[in-house]
Amino acid sequence: MDANKPGFTTVKLPGNRVANVPEDIVIKLPENSPVTDDRLHLLAYIPWDDKYLAYIPDEYTDFFKFVVPHLGARTTDVHTALSVSHLAELMSLSNNQPIDKDVLYVSVILHDSGWPMMEPSEIADSLSYNSVEAYSPQAMKPKEMHATLGSYAAKKMLREYSGAPELSEAQQKFVRDLVYYHDQIRPWPEKPEPIEYLLLGDADRMWSYTHENFWLDTIRKNTEPAQYLENLRNALEDYFLTEQGRTIARRLVGERAQEVAKLTES
Ligand SMILES: [Fe+2]
Ligand SMILES: [Fe+2]
């Protein structure tokens, strides 16, 4: 493949492998990692940049800035900002259902705060599958653990934070539960699930379909862009928890298809 396609740049990977990614996305590999070279691609990441703060609504910026120093692993900081970026549209497509907006935003901001508490090898294990569904058995344990650790981290941060939005005790408990159950490995204990749980799940899942993570995941999951696009397209209808999520994801798949076509066209 042409390594110098207009609009694309290359990322050098161990074993003389080279990946093509759009030139506006910065992708790095960790230095001095305890993870062996054959698994290093699993830890590729997009470094934090303050430009991602633009995705956070003003009323949640202070809280996001309080939390983001605790999200520096597995591209969790960028992932969290982009997950927040889809909430306004997810809510507007929710047919005027009552939604606790503060709980929703705060839980999305905190949902992956467990990742930085884990070892690099556990984080690598959590990415050892090549679509967006069907986690490998190796990925299940760290995924479960990050949700448990995240609920503790959420409790601590909510206690320590003293700005807006102010959450009641009941809202804080709701946020902790949302973090604990967010990955759907453990089912939410009641039916129907609250709308905040469903929209958090879909905001989280939308990350796979974003410009940034689509290309990052072609590296982390060692999958050709055209194949990964196909995987995402095939997974879409079952992957999302709400029709609102599917609506947005279908649009994002179209955008990713255009990018892949730009790379692969002769
Ligand atoms: Fe998560
Ligand atoms: Fe997440």
The per-residue pLDDT for range 58-80, each reduced to its tens digit, is 999 999 999 999 998 778 999 99
Cβ(1)–Cβ(10) below 8 Å: no
Distance 80 CA to ligand 2 centre (A): 7
User: What is the gyration radius of the CA atoms in the chain, in angstroms?
Assistant: 18
Which structure tokens are listed for 228? Answer: 């990964």
Distance 2 CA to ligand 2 centre (A): 33
pLDDT tens digit string along 120-157? 888 878 776 555 655 677 788 888 999 999 999 999 99
Distance 83 CA to ligand 2 centre (A): 8
Cβ(83)–Cβ(203) below 8 Å: yes
pLDDT value, residue 106: 98
- Cis-peptide, bond into residue 192, ω within 30° of zero: yes
**Mean pLDDT in residue range 161-176:** 97
Distance 12 CA to ligand 1 centre (A): 28
Taking CB atoms within 8 Å and a gap of at least 24, the contacts of 129-137 are 129/221, 130/221, 130/222, 130/223, 130/228, 130/231, 131/231, 131/232, 131/234, 131/235, 132/205, 132/208, 132/231, 132/232, 132/235, 132/239, 133/235, 133/238, 133/239, 135/185
Distance 21 CA to ligand 2 centre (A): 22
Instruction: Give the model's confidence band at 3: pLDDT under 50 very low, under 70 low, under 90 confident, else very high.
Output: low
The ligand whose atoms approach the alpha carbon of 80 most closely is: 2
Instruction: Give the model's confidence band at 83: pLDDT under 50 very low, under 70 low, under 90 confident, else very high.
Output: very high
Nearest to 233 by CA among 131, 89, 126: 131
Cβ(27)–Cβ(46) below 8 Å: yes
Which residues surround the ion ligand 2 when the cut-off is CB under 5 Å? 112, 204
Distance 79 CA to ligand 2 centre (A): 7
The ligand whose atoms approach the alpha carbon of 213 most closely is: 2
- C-alpha 14/C-alpha 33 separation (Å) is 13
> Other C-beta atoms within 10 Å of 138: how many?
14
- C-alpha 201/C-alpha 87 separation (Å) is 11
The ligand whose atoms approach the alpha carbon of 183 most closely is: 1
Distance 109 CA to ligand 2 centre (A): 9
pLDDT value, residue 14: 86
pLDDT tens digit string along 9-24? 999 998 888 999 999 9
User: What percentage of the chain reaches a pLDDT higher than 70?
Assistant: 95
Distance 81 CA to ligand 2 centre (A): 10
- C-alpha 155/C-alpha 179 separation (Å) is 10
Question: With helix as H, strand as E and coil as C, how does 75-140 read?
Answer: CHHHHHHHHHHCHHHHHHCCCCCCCCHHHHHHHHHHCCCCHHHCCHHHHHHHCCCCCCCCCCHHHH
Cβ(259)–Cβ(24) below 8 Å: no
Distance 205 CA to ligand 1 centre (A): 9
Q: Out of 83-92, 124-133, 188-197, which region has the weakest mean confidence (pLDDT)? A: 124-133
The ligand whose atoms approach the alpha carbon of 150 most closely is: 1
Distance 25 CA to ligand 1 centre (A): 22
The ligand whose atoms approach the alpha carbon of 77 most closely is: 2
Q: 24: Cβ–Cβ under 8 A, 6 or more apart, which residues?
A: none
Distance 104 CA to ligand 2 centre (A): 14
The ligand whose atoms approach the alpha carbon of 123 most closely is: 1
Q: What is the pTM of this model?
A: 0.92
**For residue 215, pLDDT beyond 90:** yes
Q: What is the dihedral of CA 43, 120, 235, 27, to 10 degrees?
A: -20
The ligand whose atoms approach the alpha carbon of 184 most closely is: 1
Distance 112 CA to ligand 2 centre (A): 5
pLDDT value, residue 16: 85
In whole numbers, what is the pLDDT of the chain averaged over residues?
Answer: 92
Distance 204 CA to ligand 2 centre (A): 5
pLDDT value, residue 179: 98
* H or E segment and range at residue 236: helix 225-239
Q: Exposure of 145 by Cβ count < 10 A (0-12 exposed, 13-18 middle, 19+ buried)?
A: middle
Nearest to 216 by CA among 43, 70, 81: 43
Rounded to the nearest angstrom, the gap between the alpha carbon of residue 45 and the centroid of all alpha carbons in its chain is 12
